[in-house]
Amino acid sequence: MNAARRLSTREVARFVARGFLEFPALTPSDVNEQYLEEMGRGAIPEVAAGTPLSLAYPEGSALARLYSHPEVAAIIESLVGADPFVDHHFVHLTLGEAQRTGFGFTDPLPSQHWHQDSTIDTRQGFDLQIMWYPHEVVLDMGGTRFLPGSHLRIVSEAAIGRYQNIKGQRHVVCPAGTMLVLHHGMWHGGGSNVGPSMRHMVKIRLNARVPQVRLWDDSDLTDKDFEQQPIFWALQPRADNDLHSILCENQPWYEADTHRLEFVNRIRLFRYLLGDDSFDADYWCSRLEFGAGRRNEAASGTREL
């Protein structure tokens, strides 16, 4: 087990709710610079799909140093377990003015259409997509655009390309060494680089080799997290870091009806990760399961914290 701190229950719940976590300036400058140097001389290796992460990259290489960085390793372990399979990686380069001029054109390339990676995916668990930015990304570089809370929508890859702008969309602007980890379903696309410099981003997709059940540090989980609180007519403010509130966070682009469905789907995913079907947040699933005996089962059952 890795020595660095694994994610907390609250952090995992936030990942379930938003579909991503971000870690600004996570990796040290020598790893970032080593990657750019290796990239510059074409030294980023190919990796056969399904290779264990521990065998994917040459020892001492920048990408081996990336995944073995204690904090990176702890994040990976918390979400997909130790030594997951590398599904694939890809080096994303977005041409700046200097590179465009070298290729004989001047207009910036348009942004990439919105898409979800891979194909229609209805699994209960998830693959982890790492997006790593080895240098500072400023606004005119067209940093990755992504849509918080989109990860549980079942769509077919580029079919969402019709949408141009969606309320709540984000553009990555970050210091060097920043890492985002995303649920595989996150809607995203590369931006248009209108600046002078090339933008680099490394994407690594990881498949869990173990059930994704309580891989994180769940020592912050308490009995109170399993208790229901007043909803709708709620006069008292919720505690900071209230687990139910984290899971039931709205997004500005959700339709008036679908945000409730998103909550239901998040709770189902969180139950899987928790290994406990008695969990509910703000009663969204209990209500639908009434009559199936769930409430009585949950009230009389024991649970492991």
Partner 1 sequence: MLVLWLADSNLDAPTVAWSRWDGTGERRTMAGDETEPPYPDGLAALRDGWRLFQASSLLPHYPGTETQTSYLKYEFWFEQLSEVPA
Give the residue with the Cβ less far from partner 1, 147 or 176.
147
Residue 265 engages partner 1 in binding (rule: CB under 8 A): yes
How far apart are alpha carbons 20 and 148 in whole angstroms? 7
How far apart are alpha carbons 170 and 18 in whole angstroms? 12
CB of 232 to partner 1, least distance (A): 19
Contacts of 261 (CB under 8 A, 6+ apart): none
Identify which of 145, 155, 181, 177 has the alpha carbon closest to the alpha carbon of residue 20: 181
Residue 106 engages partner 1 in binding (rule: CB under 8 A): no
Residue 80 engages partner 1 in binding (rule: CB under 8 A): no
Q: Kindly list the strands in the beta sheet with 145-146, ordered across the sheet, starting from the edge strand earlier in the chain.
A: 170-171, 145-146, 188-189
Residue 191 engages partner 1 in binding (rule: CB under 8 A): yes
Residues 128, 184 contacting (CB under 8 angstroms): yes
Residue 153 engages partner 1 in binding (rule: CB under 8 A): yes
Residue 270 engages partner 1 in binding (rule: CB under 8 A): no
Among 23, 85, 253, 283, contact with partner 1 (rule: CB under 8 A): 253
Residues 125, 185 contacting (CB under 8 angstroms): no
140 HSE (CA, 13 A, CB side): 7
Residue 197 engages partner 1 in binding (rule: CB under 8 A): no
CB of 23 to partner 1, least distance (A): 23
Give the residue with the Cβ less far from partner 1, 11 or 262.
262
How far apart are alpha carbons 8 and 104 in whole angstroms? 50
How far apart are alpha carbons 203 and 156 in whole angstroms? 20
How far apart are alpha carbons 64 and 66 in whole angstroms? 5
| Residue span binding partner 1 (CB under 8 A) among the ranges 24-32, 34-42, 112-120, 173-181 | 112-120
Give the residue with the Cβ less far from partner 1, 122 or 300.
122
Among 34, 78, 112, 207, contact with partner 1 (rule: CB under 8 A): 112
| Residue span binding partner 1 (CB under 8 A) among the ranges 27-35, 72-80, 163-171, 211-219 | 163-171
Residues that bind partner 1 (CB under 8 A): 110-114, 145, 152-155, 159-167, 169, 171, 189, 191-192, 252-258, 261-262, 264-265, 288
